[in-house]
Amino acid sequence: MNVRRFKRAAEILHRSALLRRVAKRVARNLTLTQPFHGGSIAFNAVAHSWAWTGTRNYENFDRELQDRLLALSFDRPHFIDIGANVGAMTLSVLLRNPEARAIAVEPGAEAVALLRHSLRLNGLGGRCEVINVAASAEESFLTFDSAGSVMGHVSPGGQSVRAVGIMDIVRQSETTKPILLKIDVEGFERSLVPAMKGVLAPAGSSAVIELHPFGFNGLGDPQFCFEQLKAQSRFEIRALGGAPIDRVDPGAFTQIEVNCL
């Protein structure tokens, strides 16, 4: 359903507390679409209510990150999106860089269904492979909480999901050229970062990683991640699109850029 029509209906329903409760229950399985960089993006009406109920939308969501990934993709057209969710970053790159190809990795079944719907809407299926697994240091099984962090995250409890080694995922790009990697896995980056040496091996490769605060989802440890990356002599660590950094705040969300020299 187009978000503009749904928003008009929601404004009417919002006038009644009873109707609000009914609408929330009915809409929890409803897919909305909205314009996105000359195409469309699909999302869940309730889980992503922030994207249509106020001034925020997907095109201005994490816009600095969207634009930085796009800029990096022109020299690194093989984009691997780890923790793709509904595909905002994947779609942002593919819709604006016609040379880019992507691998989108996401363990959440609902998010994957929405991403595939968006790819069909935009005719991008031939340029993006969607892998419905979690990325990990090695092949295994993990537990996934589908209710947390908007549409799920790796958790000590939840449903069992297949996990594939991040190095095996990168090999599926079938390129020896520099790659562009995005990692946003709600704290689980602590388990992925130690494998980064092999993943970013081609000189000129770049990764953009969101480091989550210490203890986030029982997993986050930004200082550990930063020290692991800093120990690699071929890695240059910067703030997103900015100056080199020599520390991170363990209590903050921090987006960093890692370039392989």
Contact 218, 252 (CB under 8 A): no
Q: Which of 15-24, 139-148, 173-182, 195-204 has the lowest mean pLDDT?
A: 15-24
Q: How far is CA 61 from the centre of its chain?
A: 12
Give dist(CA 57, CA 132) in Å, integer.
25
Domain boundaries, the chain: 3-51, 63-260
pTM (2 decimals)?
A: 0.90
- The per-residue pLDDT for 1 is 63
Q: The domain 63-260 is classified under which CATH number: 2.60.40.60, 3.40.50.150, 2.60.34.10, 2.60.120.480?
A: 3.40.50.150
- The per-residue pLDDT for 175 is 85
112-116: long-range contacts, CB 8 A cutoff, minimum separation 24: 114/31, 114/42, 114/43, 114/44, 114/86, 114/87, 115/42, 115/84, 115/85, 115/86, 115/87, 115/90, 115/91
48 pLDDT higher than 70: yes
DSSP letter for 2, please.
B
Q: Which of 64-68, 105-109, 150-154, 206-210 has the lowest mean pLDDT?
A: 150-154
151 pLDDT higher than 60: yes
2 pLDDT higher than 80: no
12-16, 43-47, 183-187, range with greatest mean pLDDT: 183-187
Q: Which of 7-16, 198-207, 247-256 has the lowest mean pLDDT?
A: 7-16
The tens digit of pLDDT for each residue in 112-121 reads: 999 999 999 9
- The per-residue pLDDT for 160 is 93
Computed over every residue of the chain, the mean pLDDT equals 90
53-57, 80-84, 136-140, range with greatest mean pLDDT: 80-84
**Helix ranges (DSSP H) in the chain:** 3-13, 17-27, 63-73, 88-96, 109-122, 166-171, 189-192, 196-199, 222-230
Predicted confidence band of residue 27 (pLDDT cuts 50, 70, 90): low
The tens digit of pLDDT for each residue in 213-231 reads: 999 999 999 999 999 999 9
